[in-house]
Structure 1
Amino acid sequence: MKIVIQRVSEASVTIEREQVASIKSGLLILLGITDDDGNEDIKWLTNKAVNLRVFGDENNVMNKSIRDVDGDIIVVSQFTLHALTKKGNRPSYIKAAKPDIAIPLYESFVKQLEMDLGKPVQTGQFGADMKVSLLNDGPVTIIIDSKNKG
């Protein structure tokens, strides 16, 4: 399981010209799932996400977490995070989990994130053609792969 965390001043998700999620200061998390991901990956990544110190303190040093600043989160499923690009110019998505595996894990990730954060998390819609808009703050963008936790 892989996430891309972006610290944002604002972010939103639009599907078929209808805005389905919108936040001000917080995190936009792109989530990619593979067939061999499970609950351990979810718990480890959500814990990392809510405790990651990427927000400025009173000295403008990145020393505060999303919890500390009472920020909001949007989670967007993104199978392309697991693109294989070694051969040719067309990415292969064979490592990305199919919907029957990915959807329950995506939903579990969001629920666990809400429990860890202590408040609701907004989302895109799994499998939809989404338009994601963001104002990256910093910019701060961090990639975390649960397979690299060891």
Structure 2
Amino acid sequence: MPEPVVTEFPSGCRVVSGGLEADNSAAAAGGSGGLARGSALSEGGMWLGISELPAGHASTLHHHDGQTTIVYLVRGEMTFLVERGDGGTDEFTARAGEITAIPGGLRHREENRGTGPCLCVVVRNADQPRVVNLE
């Protein structure tokens, strides 16, 4: 895939075109099991990237230290299993067009129980994303 092209404007605005893929690059903090990540842009204390999860696959159990994660489902559906502080687990499924927020530090995994691939846009409140894989 070609490298992204960045167009910068005198105001400080930037447009990034092309080159975004879930390649598990170091800039995206790597993958977690079947979940692949790609990095798009980091600016002003925020990071934006993508995640892809094939049908029938799952991520490993992981967390993002203190980074809150916001996930917009572009395609498919993703089931989240999130460990609560009281020892319980919240399980919920987000579908294309829905947004999920996961507070920083919560151990979780993602599963694609659907029949097609899942594509997500991911935002974190940090210049560099952190992923701590626990499996």
Q: Structure 1 length as normaliser, TM-score?
A: 0.28
More helix by share: 1
Higher relative contact order, structure no. (Cα contacts within 8 Å, ≥ 6 residues apart): 1
More strand by share: 2
